[in-house]
Structure 1
């Protein structure tokens, strides 16, 4: 990084080192289209070398609402702050009792040591950036990058006062961006919303006029130095703060990841990183336009769904894979476009060498759709499962049922598609009795892929945040941030993304924090999830599979809950098990069997027998067959994640 470059973007810690920054890659391509040269500095790669993989892994796993990464960088971002570091750590370890494999005193001392090292890292990073003598330095902030970005830009502005500073990204959406700009004077310009269409003109103007651009000349969604004196613009939408939006995605250039691969080639850990390519084919959420999930705040001020044509999506995957020599494609879309299964996947299925693709999807995919995904190279999905209880799913507006979700887990296991999903808990209005019933279902599913139990997080832009009183919530900025930002409560409330309910702020995200006698149903689900995860940590995974000879179904069952190791199902039982494989409504299944001359008594006995053998579950007035068809392919390992993989030996 020695040649002069007028614009440098910085990807700050803590973000994944196994993939380039999509946001910055898109901006670099947009600037090139405008005739401007830029470079991306991957400070996140430098940071893992500076701290080492073990500590970097700790920071990546730390819950973002507990603000550990923000706290580590806060001493540089806000050197004048007198906030109590001890109180921050008290709260952190109360909510995260297991850290580093050390006792509490050692863990506290270790985090203090890490915080003391940040200054040297920031100085070294500033040196690297200033070698290029940039006129503009910008940071993209998502999740835990906000304070680290503020720290870098503050130190850089002291070292090089003539350099214009810029911030954008998800943490700069609308009100958060305006508050960032108003509160931190060393940040010259903040972009609220989607910068793709405006970044070229904005940077050209900054290169010509520096900090002296009049507010009236700035693009919609950009806050500049003049706004601090003249006042900030407003709009009639959302939280009344401007947010830039790109209407047509199909005209956007492909992201430029060349700086990432150059930097990765220099890294100490280059042999341990298997990079993936993040790509974007849509923005917004088509389901959220119809029925917004109560807890979701991912789309900021605009849920409006826009997508690239299906054929373009397939072509771009193929082109990017060839350009960077990686078959791993991670779609960052909130949800798979409705027409991609029929219109995009055939192009990918026809490839002689398949790509390895990740998509987020709605959880009501049918069997044939999962089969098509697998055939096209979609090896990993993240469906919005969130729960296996229909009452909870209805409470949060998911538009799916327990039966849908169990069937999806079954079809993914059947076709070798790995699933990332969470069992969320802690929703306003939920009943502990629901969890008590849910706990009895979990042992039946040990042959399917488990999800992690995660406590609900209250996010800005979610319905829980926008209509807190409706849900009986009294939300305040997540308490940990009070020990990070030296701001008044009202400003903090306008800045942060995560919130706590004032009546329930000390629980943390762990089932162990909920006494069994306080929430026995939830406690039972926590124990059930632990057992499920443990079953999947064994060398040989649990199985429940069947073969059909045409006269008899033979079922092999190695689950811990198995009634027998082998079952032989004939006659009416076989017909019911075959019908239940599709999760038919029980009433329709009964009609079908009665049409085949089964008596009511015979039917009831056969159904009860399959349920007693734990081969069929009754969910949402449906009979859901649980066995997979044998044979079925193995699940992709963790190293196969299409978004990239970092072989962190310290995790072993």
Structure 2
């Protein structure tokens, strides 16, 4: 880094090393536009080298609500806080069963050793930053980055008292940011909300006035030293804490990722990282503004949907790909804009060399929309499937059905689009019987891409958090945070992102075998998902596909549940299979066939035959056909994720870093 850097922006652990920080890349571009010199430090990459691959993988996979990363860094962030570490570790291992080949005592000792080594990493990181003689250092904080960021900024303030410190990011929104600022005085400024429109002017003022900016002169959504004396501003919206919002995204600059690629090029792990480019085309959620999903807190204090013009989105993807030499584009949007299918995809489809793109979408996409996405290079989506039971989906407010979700999985396998999805469990008001019913037909889907069974998490800002009483919940901060933060219970409730129901008897995010008798339906689903995943680890993936000659459909079936390896489907059965391919309502199919003078008994027999052959399933009063059409497009490998891929399989030799 050059010696004339004014502002250092830091990306602390844990943040994926296979992609740059979109937030900091965008802020750097805004600062450059304001005439300020800044540098982004990727301390998350440094931490990988410091901790080693095995421990990094373990920490990255640790559930964030169990606060393991926060606990490791808490000794530096809060050196005077003496928590009961045995209580923390007891809870952690109860919620996260250890590997059978690892002794519990050995794991506990290792975690304590890791915690003792964090000070060395923070000191080393602080040294590297202070070498640049910056006037300001800011950290972005999302998920498990909060306590690591507090630890670094505390050490920097101790080492360089004149240095001005800042924090922002999702963990600093509204009441979380206010609590961070009020309780941790070594953080001089905190931005609550979206900083893009205000960061340039704010940093200019800080460079001129340091910590002495009057409270009244700070932008809306920014907390400064003066607020600790004069009190914090309030609004009439939401939780009454100011939150900065960018109303129009059209003029935001493209993010600057140059520091990431420079740092990655110096990393010992450079040859194992295939970077993706995170990009943003919208903020908020148009579906959530209509019907918020009960569990989702990702939009913070504002669900208001804003998007970039469809044509601009395509051109920005093309420009960023050319600038950084990567075809992998990860859209971080909560949901695909409604007009992008018709107005953005054609430009991308026309490219001679396709990009590899990821989008989050709503699960009620039509077949032709999935086909258009695939043709444009969108080879990976996260559709918010969340369950294969319509009653559970209704509890979530998803606005989709089991039939929608199965059809989408089928079309994605048809057109070679990989899907990130899961079956969430643990919802207030759910019935275990629903899971038992779902488990009975999961084997029919083994030719489609499997998901995972995941325990529901209670997040701040979600409807479950905002209206806990309405849902019969008594939420409190996740208990692990009591071993992390030196805060009172009310302050802790204002600081953390994850909560738990104090009357919930489920333990952790893993469904334990000991709970099988209490929840046999859920136990059957978790076993069914395991069997489905296992089928996809076989050398040859299961397949159910069909060809139509016009008179006869030939179906080939290699699923473990197959009745026959080949089916010949003719006449009435063929008509039913074709109708089921589109997920036709049972009643509509019967009405159509009855006009052709087909007897109801014949229809009943033909449908029963197709169900018995396991070629269709009845969901939500619809007949859903399961076979793909042959030919079908191969799916991208898991290593092709557009957000980047990090090959963790081999440990490189680690020479000492200068």
The interval holding the TM-score normalised by the smaller chain is over 0.9
**1:48 is paired with a residue of what secondary structure?**
helix
CA 1:391–1:98 in structure 2 vs 1: closer, same or farther (change >3 Å)? same
Change (3 A) 1:304 1:101: farther
Tell me how far apart the structure 1 counterparts of residues 429 and 46 of structure 2 sit (CA, whole Å).
Answer: 45
* Contact 1:58–1:100 (8 Å) recurs in 2: no
Partner of 2:205: 205
Query: Counterparts of 1:100 and 1:355 in 2: how far apart (Å)?
Result: 42
CA distance in 2, matches of 1:101, 1:138: 42
| Pair 1:282-2:282 in alignment | yes
Find the residue that maps to 2:476 and give its secondary structure.
strand
Per the alignment, residue 185 of structure 1 pairs with 185
Separation in 2, partners of 1:463, 1:651: 43
Instruction: Quote the residue 2:371 is aligned against.
Output: 371
Superposed displacement of residue 564, structure 1: 1.2
Q: Give the alignment of 1:604-623 within 5 angstroms.
A: 604-623=604-623
Q: What secondary structure sits across from 2:248 in the alignment?
A: coil
CA contact (8 A) 1:314 1:348 kept: yes
User: Within 5 A, what are the aligned runs for 1:99-248?
Assistant: 99=99, 101-248=101-248
Tell me how far apart the structure 2 counterparts of residues 390 and 127 of structure 1 sit (CA, whole Å): 55
Q: CA deviation at 1:99?
A: 4.5
Equivalent-residue separation in structure 1 for 2:266 and 2:131 (angstroms) = 17
Q: CA deviation at 1:98?
A: 2.7
The aligned residue for residue 326 of structure 1 is 326
Note closer, same or farther for the CA distance 1:166–1:151 as it changes in structure 2 (3 Å cut).
same
CA distance in 2, matches of 1:425, 1:380: 24
Moved more, 561-570 or 205-214: 561-570
2:565 is equivalent to residue 565 of structure 1: yes
* 1:573 Cα deviation from its structure 2 partner: 0.5
Aligned position for 1:431: 431
Equivalent position of 2:94 in the other structure: 94
Partner of 1:518: 518
* 2:491 corresponds to 1:478: no
Deviation of the 1:433 alpha carbon: 1.0
- Residue 541 of structure 2 corresponds to residue 541 of structure 1: yes
Distance in 2 (alpha carbons) for counterparts of 1:359 and 1:106: 42
Counterpart of 1:600 in structure 2 is: 600
CA distance in 1, matches of 2:596, 2:556: 28
Following superposition, the deviation at residue 143 of structure 1 comes to 0.5
Distance (Å, rounded) in 2 between the aligned partners of 1:156 and 1:529: 47
Match of 1:264 in 2: 264
Q: CA–CA distance in 2 between the matches of 1:130 and 1:505?
A: 48
- Partner SS for 1:511: coil
Q: Distance in 1 between matches of 2:441 and 2:620?
A: 13
Shift of 1:468: 0.5
Change (3 A) 1:170 1:45: same
Aligned counterpart, 1:442: 442
Higher mean C-alpha deviation, range 75-84 or range 1-10: 1-10
| Structure-2 separation of matches of 1:651 and 1:609 | 54
Partner residue in 2 for 1:421: 421
Matching residue of 1:291 = 291
Q: 1:390-405, aligned counterparts within 5 Å?
A: 390-405=390-405
Matches of 1:514 and 1:584, distance apart in 2 = 41
Cα distance, 1:558 vs structure 2: 1.3
Q: Deviations over 1:8-28 (max 9, x none)?
A: 000000100000000000000
The residue that corresponds to 2:3 in the other structure is 3
Q: Distance in 2 between matches of 1:173 and 1:301?
A: 7
Distance 1:568 1:208 in 2: 80
Residue 18 of structure 1 is matched in structure 2 by 18
555-564 or 352-361, which moves further after superposition?
555-564
Q: CA deviation at 1:505?
A: 5.9
Contact in 2 for aligned 1:289/1:303 (Cα 8 Å): yes
1:510 is displaced (CA, Å) by 1.1
Per the TM alignment, residue 650 of structure 1 is displaced from its structure 2 partner at its CA by: 5.1
Tell me how far apart the structure 1 counterparts of residues 505 and 479 of structure 2 sit (CA, whole Å): 8
Aligned to 2:655: none
* Whole-angstrom CA distance in 2 between matches of 1:476 and 1:236: 25
Tell me how far apart the structure 2 counterparts of residues 276 and 453 of structure 1 sit (CA, whole Å).
27
**Unmatched runs of 5 consecutive residues or more in structure 2:** 653-658
| TM superposition shift of 1:313 | 0.2
Aligned partners of 2:428, 2:153: CA distance in 1, in Å?
A: 39
How far the C-alpha of 1:158 sits from its partner, in A, is: 0.3
Q: Tell me which moved more, 313-322 or 112-121.
A: 112-121
Question: Helix, strand or coil: the match of 1:334?
Answer: coil
Cα deviation for residue 100 of structure 1 reads 9.2
Aligned to 2:635: 635
Contact 2:513–2:523 (8 Å) recurs in 1: no
3-state SS of paired residue (1:547): strand
Deviation at 1:638, TM superposition (A): 1.0
Report deviation, 1:595: 2.5
Shift in alpha-carbon separation, 1:139–1:178, aligned structure 2, 3 A: same
Describe how 1:32-111 pairs up with structure 2 within 5 A. Answer: 32-99=32-99, 101-111=101-111
**Superposition pairs for residues 381-392 of structure 1, below 5 Å?**
381-392=381-392
Partner deviation per Cα, 1:80-121 (whole Å, 9 max, x = no partner): 011011111110010001359522111111111111111110
Deviations 1:490-527 (A, max 9, x none): 10000000001001266111111661111111111111
How far apart in 2 are the matches of 1:23 and 1:314? 20
Q: How many residues align?
A: 652
Aligned alpha-carbon RMSD (Å): 1.2
Q: TM-score, normalised by structure 1?
A: 0.99
- Measure, in 2, the Cα distance between the counterparts of 1:208 and 1:505: 55
Cα offsets for 1:141-197 (capped at 9, x unmatched): 001000000000000100011000000000000000000000101000000000000
| Secondary structure of residue in 2 paired with 1:649 | coil
Name the CA distance, whole Å, in 1 between partners of 2:86 and 2:547.
61
**3-state DSSP class of the match of 1:226?**
helix
Aligned counterpart, 1:301:
301
* Cα distance in 2 between the residues matched to 1:600 and 1:71: 65
> C-alpha separation between the residues in 1 aligned to 2:513 and 2:224?
45
After TM superposition, the score normalised by the length of structure 2 is: 0.98
- Taking the aligned partners of 1:305 and 1:156, their CA distance within structure 2 comes to 38
Q: Is the 8 A contact 1:22 1:279 kept in 2?
A: yes
Counterparts in 2 of 1:173 and 1:49: CA distance versus 1, 3 Å: same
User: What is the DSSP-based 3-state SS (H/G/I as helix, E as strand, rest coil) of the residue aligned with 2:515?
Assistant: coil
* Deviation (angstroms), 1:436: 1.1
